[in-house]
Structure 1
Amino acid sequence: MTKHLLWLACLMPFFAPAQSTTTLVTRYEKTKGRETATYAEVIDWYKQLDRQYEQARLIEVGKTDIGKPLHLFLIAADKNFRSTPQRVTLLINNGIHPGEPEGIDATMMWVRDMLKTGKLPKQVLLAIVPVYNVDGCLNRGVSRINQNGPIEYGFRGNSRNFDLNRDFIKNDTENARSWQRMFQELKPHVMIDNHTSNGADYQHILTYFATQKDKLHPLVSGYMSQSFQPELDKALTARRFEPVPYVNNFSNTPESGIAGFNDMPRYSSGYAALFNCFSFVVELHMLKDYPSRVDGTRAFMEESLKLIERDATKIVANKQQADQALTTQPTFAVSWKSDRSRTDSIPFAGFRADYKPSDVSGLKRLYYDRSAPFRKQIAYWNYFVPDVQVKRPNAYLIPQGWTAIIERLERNGVRLQRLRKDSTLTVNAYYVTDVKSPARPYEGHFLHTGVQVRTETLTIQAYAGDVLVPTNQVSNRYIVETLEPQGTDSFFAWNFFDSILDQKEHFSAYVFEDVAADLLKKDPKLQQLLAEKKAADKAFAESAGAQLEFIYRYSPYYERTHTRYPVYRLE
C-alpha cells in the first residue's frame, strides 16, 4: 500500500460506527487467564472497537507470507490518524513471536478500557500491531516447554519458518516488507515490542532491554537512559513489577553478571534505532504465571505512555535534532563490541543455583532452589564501543541490476537519484580480501562475518538508470550500515552480493605456462614479487599451480570485477 493510500485508509473508517457500545470480553478474561486469544478473535476484537469508537481505526497495511493482511490499529484523541511532526507516535508491536502472547492479550484489554473511559493521550498517536507474525499465530499448539501457560499459543516461526525478529534488514518475508512500509510512514518516536523471556530462573516478573544506548544519538540516548528509564523503573516497582535488565548472562546463573544486549539492526529495536526511534523489548519471565505476565506487560505499556504523554514535546524535539544531525554526521560505526572494562552494579533478586544428580542421565544438572531466594548487587555490562567505523562518502553508486538492494532502500524511505545518461565516474571501490561464512545457514542465509576489504580508486562506466544514493539525508544510518560491506548486518553480510565472490574466467595451465613465462620476462617487478613470495612461503614455492595463479592475478587477463564490491563510494 502506498503512502497516500495508507493514510487515505486511515481517514476513512472500515466499518460504520455502531449506535451504542457493548462491553467486550476477551478469551483471556473468560478463562480467568488460562487462555490467549486466537488470531480470528484478535482481529474481530479490533474491528468491533473500530465500529464503536470514532477515535479508533483498524487498517490493513500490507500482506503476510500466509496470505492474511497485516493490520494496524490506531488511536487518536482528536480523530486525526496521521503521523505528524508535532506529536509523538508510539508503536506497539505484538506477536512477533506468537508463542509469547502477553502483549496480544494485555493490549486488547488496555485499549478497550482506554477507549471506554475516554482517557486517551492528547499528545500521542498510539499505533498498535495486533499480531505481527500472523502465520505463527495461526499455527496454534504447544511448543515452549519452558513456559508457564497459557494452554495454547502460536509458534515462533512464520509460515516459511523465518524468525521475524531476525528479518528487519534482509526482508525475506512479506511480513517484514509490509511492516517496514508501515514503520516508514508512521516514523515512530518510541516503540515497545512485547515478548516472553527464556533462560535462568529468578524472582523478577518483568525484564526488558532498551535500545543500546551507546548506538543512539546522544540527545535521544541521554533522555531515554537518564530520564525515561529511571522514572519508568520507579513506577513499575511501585506497581510490584520491579524490573531488571533482560537476563543475558555469561554463565548458567545470572549472579556472574548480565550483559547488555547488542541489538543489531536485524532485530526490531536495532532497526528502529537506525531512525532515532528508541525502543523497549519487554521480556516477561517465562516461569511466572500467565496472568502475572499479562499484568506486567500492561503495566509497562501504561507507565510508558504516561511518561511519553508528559514529555511529548521533548521527545519530538530530540528526534528532530537527532534526525537533522544524521544528515551531516561524518563517520558511522557499522559494527560494535562490548566494552568489558566498564561495568555498573544493579540490584538483582534471584534464587540460589545448585547442582544435583539428574534423574535422566545420572550426571550433574543445574536447578534453582526457590526456597532459597536472595537479593544482591550484580555486575551489568552495558557499554558498547565501535568495532569498525567508516567515513561517510558524499554518495554511493549502485548499478541498476542490483534490484533487490534498490527495492529495500526505497522501502525504507531512502531518497535515490537515477543517472540520466551514461557517465564515466571516478569512484572508490572495495575488494573483499577475506570473509568467514558458517557451514550451516542461519535464517535462510550463510551470514558472513570477519569481512576484510581493500580500497582502490577506479574509473568506471556507469549507465543511465544506475542509482545514486546521496548521504545528506535522515536515513544515513540505515544507508551506511547496510551498504558498507563490513557492517554486521550489511546487505553483503546477508549474502546479497555473493555472486561477486565467484570467479567466472580461469586458465588451462598448459596454455598459461607459456604466457606466464612471457609475462615474467617482460615485467621485472612481477619477477621480484614472485621471488619474494616463494622465499616467504615454502608451500607456495613447492606448488606450480599456486605460482601460476599468482602470476595470473597480476596479469591483464584476470577479471577485475572478481571480489569487487559493486556499491561504489563517491567521495
Structure 2
Amino acid sequence: MKHYLILLLLITAMDTSAQLTPYELSGKKETATYYQAIKHYEQLDKTYEQAKLLSYGNTDFGKPLHLLVLSKDKIFDPVAIRKSNNRILLINNGIHPGEPEGIDASMMLARDLLKGDLLPKDVVICIIPVYNIDGSFNRTGTSRANQNGPVAYGFRGNSKNYDLNRDFIKTDSKNAYSFQEIFNIWQPEIFVDTHTSNGADYQYVMTLIPTHKDKLNPVLSEYMTKTMLPTLYTEMKNSGYEMIPYVNSVEETPDAGITGFLESARYSTGYTTLHNTIGFMPETHMLKDYDKRVDATYKLLQIYINVVVRDAKIIGENKRKADEQVAKQTTFPITWILDETVSEDLEFKGYTAKQKPSEVSGIDRLYYDRNEPHTKIIKYWNTYKPSVSVTKPIAYIIPKAWDKVVGLLKLNNVKVQQLQKDTQIDVESYYVTDYKTMSSPFEGHYLHSNVKVNPIKQTLQFYEGDFVVYTNQRVNRYIIETLEPQAMDSFFNWNFFDSILGMKEHFSAYVFEDTAAELLKKNPEIRKKLEAQKAKDSSLSKNAEAQLDFIYKNSDYYEKTHSRYPIARLVNDTKITLK
C-alpha cells in the first residue's frame, strides 16, 4: 500500500509537471518556442474532449496556422456554433513574436480552463498560438533593445521581413491569407490581439487600444464605450493591474497629453472593424518585469471571457444589428482626422520626466525618474471625424484581369457574381487626378495617400466573366474601404493598380506637330481649352512640348484608360445579366 501511494504521488507530480508551460518551468523568465507551444496544445487536444487543435492554410515559413478551439459543448463546427447562438472570442498571439506575453498567458489560460472544468457554456474560445511562426524562429535576446525580458524571443518581421500587423489588406504574406481564412470561417464577435508597447515610461503594466469608437458601427461603439470598456478598466484595477489607454504621446512625454490610436484597416483591429467585430490590442509595458506582463495579460484575457459570457446575448444582438445596418448604409466615411477641439481629462500615473547630460554625447537627454512617481490630469484627445466620405454605388464592376482583388474579396465572404455575356454598361469611372507617394518603401510598397479623383459618367464595354459586387452585403465596409481609392488602406493605395498610372502610347513631336495643327483647325473646342489654359499658366505659352501634350491629351489620340481606375461604379439601377 505504501509503495502504491508513493507511485501515485510520483505519477501525479509527473502529470502536474507535464502540464506546466516552459514559461512556468523557467521560473517565469523564458517564453515558449513555437514547437513547445504547439506541443502544449496538442497535449491539451489529446487530454480533453473540449479542446481541438485545428490547422489552416500555410505561412511563409511553410507551416500551417494553428487554431485551438475550446468548446464546453464539444462542438467544433463554426456554423453549428453560430446556429446555437453562441459567441466566439478569438485571441491572436505572436503577431510580433518579440512581444510574447500572450503566447505564454494563453497556454496557461487554456490549460487552467480545461483542467478546472471552467469553460463557459455560451462562449467558444479560439486561440491562435503563434501567428508569426516565421519570426518566432528568428530568436534572440537583443532585437528589442528597450525591452525587459524574457531571456529570448522572436523577431518582429516574418520570413519575407513583413510586419504582419501591416498586412491585413495587402495580404502579401501567406500568414495574412490564412488568418483571414480563419477569421472569416469563424466570424468572431470579439477579437483580442496581444502586444507589448514601446514609448514613454509610466506606472502601468497594461495599456489598451480598443477598436476606435468613431470607426465602429454606432451600435457596437455604444456598447463598447459605455459597457465593455468600463468593465475592462474596473476589473483590471481590481485585479491589481490598473490599466490606461495606449500612451500615444502628443509630444515626447505624456505630460502634454495623449491621443487615441486610429487603427486603419492594415492593422488587425482595423481589419476586424470592417467586419463589425469589436477588436482590442492590449499592450503591456516593455520596461515592466516579464512575469508581471504575462500575469496582466492572463488576467485581462480572463476578464474578456467573463465579459463576453455576461453579455453574450447583447453582443450577439449588436453584431446582428450592425451587419443589417451596414448592408443598408448608403454613406461611408473612408478617411478620418483627429478633432483637436474635443478632449477629456484623464488621470495619468507617470514618472517625472527630467533631463541630464548624456554619458554618450554629453548633450542633455530625457529620462524618467522612478523615484518621483506622480498622478496628474492630462488631456486625452480621442475623437476623430470623417474627412472623406463616399456614397456607395449599387455595385462595383471589376474586370476579370484583377484576379487578386477578386480573390481577396471572396476570402472575406464577399458575394461576387459574373457577367453572363459581353455588355455595354453605363457606369461612373474615377480618373485619378492627384496622389502622394512615399519616397521610400513601406512594407514592400510605395504607399499612396491623399488621392484625388474625378468621377466621370461613361458607357464602357465589359465582358463575359467580369465580376460584379453588389453593395447590399454585411461586409460592405470591407468592400468599400478596399475598392474606393481614396480610402486610407484601399487596394489602390497599396499599389494594386499602379499599372494604370503610366501611359502606354505617346507621340513623336516632329510628327505630331502637323497633326496638332490640323486638330486645332478642325476642333475649335480644343483651341479654346488651350487658350484658356495658357491664360491660367503663363509658362505654357513658352513651352512648345507642353502645348503639344495638352492638345494630345484633349484629342481622341489620347488613351482613355490612362489614370482611369479600372473598377467601375454602377450608380444607376441597370438590369445586368449574371451567371
Per-residue CA shift, 1:334-359, capped at 9, x if unaligned? 11111111011111100000111111
Tell me the amino acid that sits aligned with residue 137 of structure 1.
S
Aligned residue type for 1:368: Y
- Summarize deviations over 1:532-570 as a string: whole Å, max 9, x none: 211221221111011110000011100000000000000
Shift of 1:525: 2.1
What is the aligned partner in structure 2 of residue 137 from structure 1?
Answer: 136
Q: Does 1:335 align with 2:330?
A: no
Q: Which moved more, 1:515-524 or 1:495-504?
A: 515-524
Task: Provide the rounded CA distance (Å) in 2 between the counterparts of 1:233 and 1:193.
Answer: 17
1:214-233 equivalent positions in 2, closer than 5 A: 214-233=214-233
* Aligned equivalents of 1:121, 1:62: Cα separation in 2: 29
Q: Output the CA distance in 2 between the equivalents of 1:417 and 1:110.
A: 43
TM-score normalised to structure 2 length: 0.94
Alpha-carbon distance in structure 2 between the residues aligned to 1:304 and 1:270? 19
1:22 aligns with 2:19: no
Q: In structure 2, how many angstroms separate the alpha carbons of the residues matched to 1:35 and 1:176?
A: 27
Task: Verify: 1:96 aligned to 2:95, yes or no.
Answer: yes
Aligned counterparts, 1:380-419, within 5 A: 380-419=380-419
Pairing 1:491-530 to 2, within 5 Å after superposition: 491-530=491-530
C-alpha distance in 2 between matches for 1:187 and 1:564: 35
- 1:108 is the counterpart of 2:107: yes
* One-letter identity of the residue aligned with 2:60: D
- Per the alignment, residue 444 of structure 1 pairs with 444
Provide the residue aligned with 1:244 in structure 2.
Answer: 244
In structure 2, how many angstroms separate the alpha carbons of the residues matched to 1:515 and 1:255?
67
1-side partners of 2:123 and 2:14: how far apart?
24
- Deviation of the 1:414 alpha carbon: 0.4
The residue aligned with 2:576 is none
Q: CA deviation at 1:82?
A: 2.3
Q: Counterpart of 2:540 in structure 1: which amino acid?
A: F
CA distance in 1, matches of 2:375, 2:318: 37
Q: One-letter code of the match for 1:446?
A: Y
Read off the aligned partner of 1:74 and give its amino acid letter: V
Residue 116 (structure 2) aligns with: 117
Is 1:50 aligned to residue 34 of structure 2? no
What amino acid does structure 2 have at the position aligned with 1:94?
N
Supply the distance in 2 between the matched residues of 1:376 and 1:99 (Cα, whole angstroms): 32
> Where does the alignment leave 5 or more consecutive residues of structure 2 unmatched?
1-12, 572-579
Find the counterpart in structure 1 of residue 296 from structure 2: 296
1-side partners of 2:373 and 2:417: how far apart? Answer: 61
Equivalences for 1:526-545 in 2 at 5 Å? Answer: 526-545=526-545
- The aligned residue for residue 352 of structure 1 is 352
Amino acid at match of 1:327: A
**Alignment counterpart, residue 77 of structure 2, candidates 79, 82, 86:** 82
Asked whether 1:178 is paired with 2:151, we answer: no
Alignment-derived partner of residue 33 in structure 1: 28
How much has 1:27 moved relative to structure 2? 1.2
Between the aligned partners of 2:504 and 2:540, the Cα distance in structure 1 is: 24
The aligned counterpart of 1:424 is: 424
> How far, CA to CA, are the matches of 1:400 and 1:94 in structure 2?
36
Counterpart in 1 of 2:313?
Answer: 313
Tell me by how many angstroms 1:530 deviates: 1.2
Partner of 1:457: 457
Q: Could you tell me how far apart the structure 2 residues matched to 1:304 and 1:346 are? A: 23
SS at match of 2:15: coil
Instruction: Measure, in 2, the Cα distance between the counterparts of 1:462 and 1:77.
Output: 51
User: What amino acid maps onto 2:135 in structure 1?
Assistant: G
| Partner SS state of residue 57, structure 2 | strand
Q: Who is 1:190 aligned against?
A: 190
Match of 1:148 in 2: 148
Asked whether the equivalents of residues 21 and 52 of structure 1 are also in contact (C-alpha less than 8 Å), the reply is no
**Letter of the structure 2 residue corresponding to residue 275 of structure 1:** H
* Per-residue deviation, 1:21: 10
Distance in 2 (alpha carbons) for counterparts of 1:499 and 1:296: 48
Q: Deviations over 1:281-339 (max 9, x none)?
A: 00000000000000000111001110110100000000001001111101111111111
CA contact (8 A) 1:419 1:463 kept: yes
* Aligned ranges 1:203-282 → 2 under 5 Å: 203-282=203-282
CA deviation after TM superposition for structure 1 residue 22, in Å: 3.2
CA gap of 1:529–1:366, structure 2 versus 1, over 3 A, is: same
Residue type matched to 2:29 in 1?
R
Q: Distance in 1 between matches of 2:364 and 2:528?
A: 62
Do the aligned partners of 1:28 and 1:105 also contact (CA within 8 Å) in 2? yes
Partner of 1:61: 56
The letter of the residue matching 1:475 is: V
Write the deviation string for residues 116-135 of structure 1: whole angstroms up to 9, x where unpaired.
01011111010000000000
Tell me, which stretches of 5 or more residues in structure 1 are unaligned?
Answer: 1-19
Query: 2:76 & 2:125 partners in 1: Cα distance?
Result: 9
Alpha-carbon distance in 2 for matches of 1:326, 1:22: 50
Paired position in structure 2 for 1:378: 378
3-state DSSP class of the match of 1:308? helix
Q: 3-state SS of the aligned residue for 2:282?
A: strand
Whether the 8 Å CA contact 1:509–1:548 is kept in 2: the answer is yes
Cα deviations by residue, 1:141-164 (Å, 9 ceiling, x for unpaired): 120010000010000000110000
Task: Give the Cα–Cα distance (whole angstroms) in 2 for the partners of residues 502 and 240 of structure 1.
Answer: 59
Structure 1 CA distance for aligned equivalents of residues 387 and 76 of structure 2: 41
- Deviates further, 523-532 or 114-123: 523-532
The one-character-per-residue Cα deviations of 1:503-544 (angstroms, maximum 9, x if unpaired) are 000000001111111111122222222112112212211110
Q: Hey, what's the Cα distance between the residues in 1 that align with 2:534 and 2:270?
A: 47
User: What residue is the counterpart of 2:575 in the other structure?
Assistant: none
Amino acid at match of 2:221: S
Q: Which moved more, 1:517-526 or 1:401-410?
A: 517-526
Distance 1:438 1:230 in 2: 39
Query: Which whole-Å CA distance do the structure 2 matches of 1:355 and 1:538 have between them?
Result: 55
Misfit runs of 4+, over 6 Å:
none
Question: Structure 2: how far apart are the matches of 1:387 and 1:405?
Answer: 26
Cα distance, 1:376 vs structure 2: 1.1
Q: What residue number does 1:434 align with?
A: 434
On the 8 A contact 1:148/1:290 being kept in 2, the answer is yes
SS in 2 for 1:214: coil
Give the Cα–Cα distance (whole angstroms) in 2 for the partners of residues 203 and 42 of structure 1: 31
Partner of 2:479: 479
Aligned to 2:125: 126
Secondary structure at the aligned position of 2:194 is classed as strand
Residue 574 of structure 2: aligned partner: none
Tell me the distance in 2 between the aligned counterparts of 1:141 and 1:44.
21
Contact 1:149 1:289 in 2 (8 A): yes
| Matches of 1:299 and 1:113, distance apart in 2 | 12
Q: Would the aligned equivalents of 1:102 and 1:195 in 2 still touch at CA under 8 Å?
A: yes
SS in 2 for 1:421: coil
SS at match of 2:90: strand
Q: Which amino acid aligns with 1:525?
A: E
When the two structures are aligned, how many residues end up with a matched partner? 552
Secondary structure, counterpart of 2:379 in structure 1 = strand
Per the TM alignment, residue 69 of structure 1 is displaced from its structure 2 partner at its CA by 1.2
SS across alignment from 2:149: coil
Aligned partners of 1:424 and 1:461 also within 8 Å: yes
Q: Aligned match of 2:67 in 49, 67, 72?
A: 72
Matched residue, 1:14? none
What's the C-alpha RMSD, in Å, of the aligned pairs?
A: 1.0
Q: Secondary structure at the match of 2:410?
A: helix
Match of 1:22, SS? helix
Helix, strand or coil at the partner of 2:328: coil
